[in-house]
A and B are shown apart, each in its own frame.
Chain A
Amino acid sequence: MWPDSDLKVASLVSNGQHPKSGRSRRASQDARAVELALKMTGRAARVIHVGTGHRDSGLGQYLGMGLPEITLLNADENADAVPVLVDHLKGTDLDIVLTGIHAEQGEASGMVPYLLAEHLGWPLVSHIADIQKVEGGKAEVLQALPRGQRRLLRVPLPFIATVDNAAAEARQYAFGAARRGKLVDEVIDAPVDQARLEWESHPAKPRPKRLHVAKAKSAADRFKAATAKPQGQGGSVLRDGTDLEKATAIMDLLISEGVVR
């Protein structure tokens, strides 16, 4: 049934960064949102970015996924994207707006879709893995739950959805397509995000790992806590016994871990 030419789907994309090198790239969740939009509407998928547009940044990589163009709402780094997007989206007749869950740069609060939904009065579905069908003005959406589980939701158009990492992986971007794609500039007036300018940002310090503090009620407990064999240092090995005993030992562990119910 995809692509559906009647459907108008847009993805909001941000500039990502690689977690190891910090280098600019397409954001992985946003790219999945673009992938979903491409699946649903083919090359008619619209992609919107607020910020300073550089082809060398992540934007080029989105274009490389085969997008003919990206609408670029020109705003500088300190701008507040929400009012800009609200204005822009009010002027369109979109059915579905897709975004990632969190940005990969900056505050990464993940609030943009929620604020848009609030301002536009649209419903919002979070953590979706797929949109299965759109029928009679309602979409059936598959929501990703932890550990590979899925939930089916029905939501009326128009709506906003945040795309989970469980969604189909974004296609490879091609250098040639990135070279051909266009950035369509739109000059807009973006208000400055004043509150954030007052915050300080530092490179992230590794968070202290919580130690297994044994709040001992007695010296014996403290002694036990201090001398107990740390976990994971070699497990138990079952060499002898019948096959059934061995299988039972495994089964017991599976049951105690709760993976076999």
Chain B
Amino acid sequence: MSEAPRRDPRAEWILRNRLHPEHDVLVAAHSGPTRGPTGLLRKNPHAVGFIGPQGIKRIDRSAGLSGGASGLSSGARGRSASTEVELPLHRVEHPDFYVAVVVDLVAGRLSSHDRDILGQARILAKGSEEQGAVVAVALGEAREANFEAAGADRLVSLTELQGQSLSGYCPEHKLAVLEAVEAELSPRFWLFPDSIHGGADLGSRLAARLGERPAVHAWKVDAQQTVCRGGSQLTDWHRPTARVLLLAEECALPVDETRHEARPIELASIPEVSALIEDLGQVDVDPSKIALGEAEFILSAGNGIRDWDQFHAVATALGATEGASRVAVDDGHMPRNRQVGATGTWVTARVYVAIGISGAIQHLQGIGQCDKVVAINLDDSCDMIKRADLSVIGDSQAILGELLRLAEARQGGTGDAAIDLTEEARHVA
């Protein structure tokens, strides 16, 4: 209760009255941001600043770096960071219907796509006078999956079924679970992320099994009408909302204003499954064999590379896919299928490290879709540096040498080694 903001009319009155003897004392105490009646932080603009030596009011905006009014801002920052606002809990005791969401759980976590779908499910659940409940169906290991915050009222969570772990590829088993959910809860809507992580596959299987015609690539959905994106992204289909929905990314905003119970549901019975498809496990893929267009992490070499063996060693140590600029390919250092750029391959890597590449326009075009670009170059005026999120100016050979040592130290399994090295670096600096 002490946390709840309370008004003190007397103090407010004193604060308003500049002639009150206690005014200065109170202002000093209140000069940090205070919470207004709605819980929003309020700042008293009159209290900002101090009177300088010439008798003129000064506002120090250096945010505590100089002596001045440092206490104020740092105190304010600390407080706003520490207050984690407790969201109101949304409870559905006796739902009139269910909206089932089968989440992808990529690497055990709710993906942003999953959260969008749960947001969409919320909209469908509260749409009418009836009160629906969102059932999240989580098949496989869930780690750090915060179903309460993501908007699940109920949770069906299974990690294995009849001795079969649900983490691998076992669409037949998963389908059996969904059929059991259908039998017990008969959800009004079935929502799947239309994703390559299994959502689209499972949704299509369920739709075929239930004899429902799904709405696929749906991106604008309400209880009556759905807009689906057609083939090649060239048409929009307006159709009545289907029972099974395969939803596109960003179809709705994720839940962020309420908390939910995520009350577990135990399924009564799941029929015996005789699976035909056997999962023999993931195959080790040599990063250097991955097609450039698919690769997630590319280490790309250009004209500035002198020691090619070192470059290959770094790529192997970091587990990166190798790429190259046109010049490096033309000079025969790298095969043609490794050329990045408009005249080579358009890449979509999340991280792209360009070593000794000055950044011809065709090359920059080719890496347009990369998230993070790191550049290592001698010339700090080249175009690649302008594009890069992190640029390191220096001799690529020396930096690669250090990078190789760091990577090998990490591979050695001792995280400490890396830390030691960073320590050492500080000493050198």
Residue interface mask A68-83, B partner, CB < 8 A = 1: 0000000000000000
Q: Decide: A250 near B280, CB < 8 A? Known: A110-B200, A259-B351.
A: no
Contacts of A218 in B (CB 8 A): 33, 40-41, 80
Contacts of A22 in B (CB 8 A): 232, 234
Query: Are A236 and B391 touching (Cβ within 8 A)?
Result: yes
A246 to B372, CA, bound (A): 16
Contacts of B390 in A (CB 8 A): 235-236, 238, 249-250, 253
State whether the Cβ of A156 lies closer than 8 Å to any Cβ in chain B. yes
Contacts of B277 in A (CB 8 A): 123, 125, 153-155
Stretch of A1-9, A84-92, A202-210 lying at the B interface: A202-210
Query: Are A238 and B391 touching (Cβ within 8 A)?
Result: yes
Query: Are A199 and B380 touching (Cβ within 8 A)?
Result: no
Smallest CB gap from A82: residue in B: B208
State whether the Cβ of B76 lies closer than 8 Å to any Cβ in chain A. yes
Q: Decide: A153 near B425, CB < 8 A? Known: A106-B230, A204-B229, A257-B372.
A: no
Query: Are A200 and B238 touching (Cβ within 8 A)?
Result: yes
Query: Are A242 and B204 touching (Cβ within 8 A)?
Result: no
Query: Are B295 and A148 touching (Cβ within 8 A)?
Result: yes
Query: Are A237 and B350 touching (Cβ within 8 A)?
Result: no
State whether the Cβ of A114 lies closer than 8 Å to any Cβ in chain B. yes
A195 to B402, CA, bound (A): 64
Query: Are B216 and A108 touching (Cβ within 8 A)?
Result: yes
A135 to B262, CA, bound (A): 46
Smallest CB gap from A238: residue in B: B392
State whether the Cβ of A212 lies closer than 8 Å to any Cβ in chain B. no
State whether the Cβ of B217 lies closer than 8 Å to any Cβ in chain A. yes
List A residues 213-244 near B (Cβ within 8 Å).
215, 217-221, 232, 234-239, 241-244
Contact pick for B276, options A103, A142, A156, CB 8 Å: A156
A257 to B374, CA, bound (A): 12
Query: Are B276 and A199 touching (Cβ within 8 A)?
Result: no
A143 to B278, CA, bound (A): 12
Query: Are B389 and A235 touching (Cβ within 8 A)?
Result: yes
Residue interface mask B161-203, A partner, CB < 8 A = 1: 0000000110110000000000000000000000011001100
A-B contact count (CB 8 A): 258
Query: Are B207 and A111 touching (Cβ within 8 A)?
Result: yes
Query: Are A205 and B80 touching (Cβ within 8 A)?
Result: no
State whether the Cβ of A105 lies closer than 8 Å to any Cβ in chain B. yes
Query: Are B231 and A102 touching (Cβ within 8 A)?
Result: yes
Query: Are A202 and B238 touching (Cβ within 8 A)?
Result: yes
Query: Are A150 and B282 touching (Cβ within 8 A)?
Result: yes
List A residues 98-130 near B (Cβ within 8 Å).
102-111, 114-115, 117-118, 123-127
Contacts of A159 in B (CB 8 A): 276
Contacts of B371 in A (CB 8 A): 257
A259 to B351, CA, bound (A): 8
Smallest CB gap from B283: residue in A: A150
State whether the Cβ of B346 lies closer than 8 Å to any Cβ in chain A. no
Contact pick for A217, options B85, B219, B392, CB 8 Å: B85
Contact pick for B236, options A145, A204, A254, CB 8 Å: A204
A235 to B217, CA, bound (A): 35
State whether the Cβ of B214 lies closer than 8 Å to any Cβ in chain A. yes
List B residues 259-284 near A (Cβ within 8 Å).
276-283
Nearest CB of chain B from residue A229's CB, rounded to whole Å = 12
Nearest CB of chain B from residue A239's CB, rounded to whole Å = 5
Query: Are B234 and A204 touching (Cβ within 8 A)?
Result: yes
State whether the Cβ of B4 lies closer than 8 Å to any Cβ in chain A. no
Query: Are A146 and B169 touching (Cβ within 8 A)?
Result: no
Contact pick for B213, options A147, A195, A236, CB 8 Å: A195
List B residues 12-68 near A (Cβ within 8 Å).
33, 40-43
Query: Are A154 and B278 touching (Cβ within 8 A)?
Result: yes
A261 to B320, CA, bound (A): 11
Stretch of B127-135, B138-146, B416-424 lying at the A interface: B416-424
List B residues 396-412 near A (Cβ within 8 Å).
398-403, 405-407, 410
Q: Decide: A166 near B380, CB < 8 A? Known: A219-B40, A219-B43, A260-B407.
A: no
Smallest CB gap from B210: residue in A: A118
Q: Decide: A239 near B428, CB < 8 A? Known: A153-B280, A253-B390, A259-B350.
A: no
Nearest CB of chain A from residue B19's CB, rounded to whole Å = 29
A143 to B85, CA, bound (A): 44
State whether the Cβ of B256 lies closer than 8 Å to any Cβ in chain A. yes
A186 to B371, CA, bound (A): 50
Most buried by B among A118, A210, A246: A246
Query: Are A251 and B407 touching (Cβ within 8 A)?
Result: yes
A62 to B376, CA, bound (A): 46
Residue interface mask A169-213, B partner, CB < 8 A = 1: 000000000000000000000000001001111111101001000
State whether the Cβ of B429 lies closer than 8 Å to any Cβ in chain A. yes
Q: Spell out A's residues near B (CB within 8 Å).
A: 16-19, 22, 102-111, 114-115, 117-118, 123-127, 140, 142-143, 145-156, 159, 166, 195, 198-205, 207, 210, 215, 217-221, 232, 234-239, 241-251, 253-254, 257, 259-261
Would you list 22 pairs from A and B whose C-beta atoms are within 8 A, ordered by A residue? Answer: A104-B231, A105-B232, A107-B231, A111-B204, A115-B208, A117-B208, A123-B172, A151-B279, A152-B281, A153-B279, A204-B235, A207-B219, A219-B41, A235-B373, A237-B391, A239-B380, A241-B429, A247-B402, A254-B318, A257-B372, A259-B297, A260-B318
Top 8 A-B pairs, shortest CB-CB distance: A108-B231, A148-B290, A247-B402, A235-B389, A259-B297, A152-B280, A148-B294, A109-B216
Q: Spell out B's residues near A (CB within 8 Å).
A: 33, 40-43, 76, 80, 85, 168-169, 171-172, 196-197, 200-201, 204-205, 207-209, 213-214, 216-217, 219, 228-239, 250, 253, 256, 276-283, 285, 287, 290-291, 294-297, 318-321, 350-351, 353, 371-374, 376, 380, 385-386, 388-395, 398-403, 405-407, 410, 418, 421-422, 424-425, 428-429
